[in-house]
Amino acid sequence: MNACLSILIRFVWVGMFSLALGACAQPAVKTTPQETPATSVDALEQLRKEAKLLTPMMQSDLGREFLAATGVLTAPTPRILFRSPDSRDLFGEEAAARLGEEERKALVAITEPELLELFYNTYHGTPLAYSRAIDLLGAAGLTADAGRRLVDFGFGNVGQLRLLASLGFAATGIEVAPYLAELYSHPSDQGPYASGQVKVIFGRYPTEEATVEAVGSGLDVFLSKNTLKRGYIHPYRTPAKPEWVIKLGVTDEEFLQKIHDALKPGGKFLIYNICPALSPEDQPFIPWSDGRSPFSQEQFAAAGFRVLAFDVDDTAFVRKMGRLLGWDQGPQPLDLEHNLSVLYTLVERT
């Protein structure tokens, strides 16, 4: 999930170490630095620096408070993790021990600075890309009162959940990506954080009853960023790869009804999608390029929602954000002028 944010990736592997794994039940780690690793505060300092750049763009108190919360973010509890050199797969000690000898030897140990970078950016880029979505919710009346409950569908990154928890929110993320389950498997990754709470749920919503029960009801916000896209849910052209289609496992009507029932009266449902430009008709269709709402205004209304905004173009705002954050620079710069499309839909439970 959150596949489109991979185009905004600013992920840098730092302080690479080699790994020697024996055939014993628990892998033994031998690290040999290939370069001097950065200090453990570098990734957090970068987030704080970027937050200051974005703050003048915010139009609500909540948006500004969200960015200011970078000042209280803390480094993750140290843990032993290994990564596959050929994929996004991550392995803890127990998972690595279950691999074959050759697979274990190929793993790379994740250093502390690398863990910090991965913890807050994963493979999806900075959590500060959420600031605009949070700002829009603030402009719609959401405030950072203690106990506010927010669910991030396809969260992809614990950073925004911690930022929201720092404002007093009970912030819950739902995901299915196995590597994120391994990354956020330490007990300290969930529970009380600052003045709020963080919870991460790995399962399918709403097709798995355990996931539905874990999410609960009485939500103030149900947020989907770069997950609920028309291109993923109802592609109007055949995708280049069938596995790029997201199957919710229920009808549109059932999905919307489940979200309606999970929200409290007046609760907000925001779909916010950052995409590349829509795939040209003469080229293979990339599902994440179609960020339109997968649900119609009529479907929202039938499910008991009041439509506040529908497929609003927010490209200009994110283009400016991307330039401030340097997305158009570096070895793989993004063409923010021609290859960016941003749309959002905001509805409210009546």
DSSP letter, residue 112: H
Strands 82-83 and 90-91: antiparallel
Distance from the Cα of residue 311 to its chain's centroid: 20
Rounded CA-CA distance 229/292 in Å is: 6
The architecture that CATH gives domain 3-349 is 3-Layer(aba) Sandwich (3.40)
Q: What is the pLDDT of residue 123?
A: 86
pTM listed for this prediction = 0.88
One-letter amino acid of 78: P
Give residue 41's pLDDT. Answer: 52
Find the Cα–Cα–Cα–Cα dihedral 163, 165, 171, 174, rounded to 10°.
50
Would you call 279 helix, strand, or coil by DSSP? coil
Amino acid at 292: R
Per-residue model confidence (pLDDT) at position 240: 84
| Token pair recorded at residue 209 | 């009853």
Return d(Cα 258, Cα 321) in angstroms, integer: 33
- 3-state helix, strand, coil split of the chain in percent (to 5) is 35, 20, 45
Domain range annotation of the chain: 3-349
With a cut of 70, which residues of the chain have pLDDT below it?
1-41
